[in-house]
Amino acid sequence: MRSELCIHDIATGDTSVILTHDGIIEAPNWHPDGFLLVNGDGRLWRVPLDEPRLEPFPTGRIGQLNNDHGLSPDGRTLAISGKTETEKSCIYCMPITGGEPVRVTEKVPSWWHSWSPDGQRLAYAGVRRDGAPVSLYTCALDGSDEVCVADDFDHIDGPDYSADGRWIWFNGEKDGRVDLWRIRPDGSDRERMTGGETVDWFPHPSPDGRHVVYIAYPPGTRGHPAGLNVTLRLLPQEGGESRELLPLFGGQGTMNVPCWAPDSRRFAFMRFAP
């Protein structure tokens, strides 16, 4: 499988391939200092934008990383999710300059997905009872004050705070449908934001508060598999009609985590070729 690390400009509609890799790399984050972080082979890699290449990013004792990683609003701290010390995914935080990760979530599985804009809380997907569905949680940076924001869906994934902190966006499955939703951090005012035939995953609100980019899977897709023809779509944050940005071969790994540039004009994503 060949991976292409891409940047899309929403104003011009142009897509640039900045790195091609013979293997699988996934889930780019955008650091304000001008580099991307991606996941590959259970590790993180740094990609400088001025001279794109894969540079190993050390995560100390924690390996077996999944795609659920991302940067604090000030760019100084990185959240990662891995299972080196636990049989199921656990969330850790570490300095972006390197060092040993510090465990955050006591309970597992927990899959990180977003920081609150003030940098004081994390939003993530998790399971807390045997046989229970994946639900939406937040907690403080030391793992205390875990709050279940929503747990009455068949499955929840991809929670991501809006830039003003007033909403958490997520994809939620109910009655065989997967749509995008938003909810207040206290669990109130839940709204369904898409309702078409596509299976919608991984909403990412832009830093300027205007847009949400997401993946639209074909109707009938189960879960969020890799290796499908999908589309990236753009939705106004206040709600309304979305528009197609581009089709691609991807899905899982394309943009599981926040991927916007700080200027909100561009975002990073992955596409793949057999």
Q: What is the pLDDT of residues 192-212, one digit of tens each?
A: 999 999 999 999 999 999 999
What domains sit in the chain, N to C, each tagged with a CATH number? 2-273 (2.120.10.30)
- Supply φ then ψ for residue 158, to 5 degrees: 65, 35
pLDDT over 90 at 262, yes or no: yes
The two tokens of residue 69 are 């990683």
What pLDDT digit, counting tens, does each position of 78-104 carry?
A: 999 999 999 999 999 999 999 999 999
Residue 68 is predicted with a pLDDT of: 98
Confidence tier at 146 by pLDDT (50, 70, 90): very high
DSSP 8-state code for residue 109: -
Percent above pLDDT 70 for the chain: 100
pLDDT over 90 at 274, yes or no: no
CA 171 to chain centre: 11
pLDDT over 90 at 163, yes or no: yes
- Supply φ then ψ for residue 11, to 5 degrees: -75, -45
**Cα separation, 254 vs 238, whole angstroms:** 24
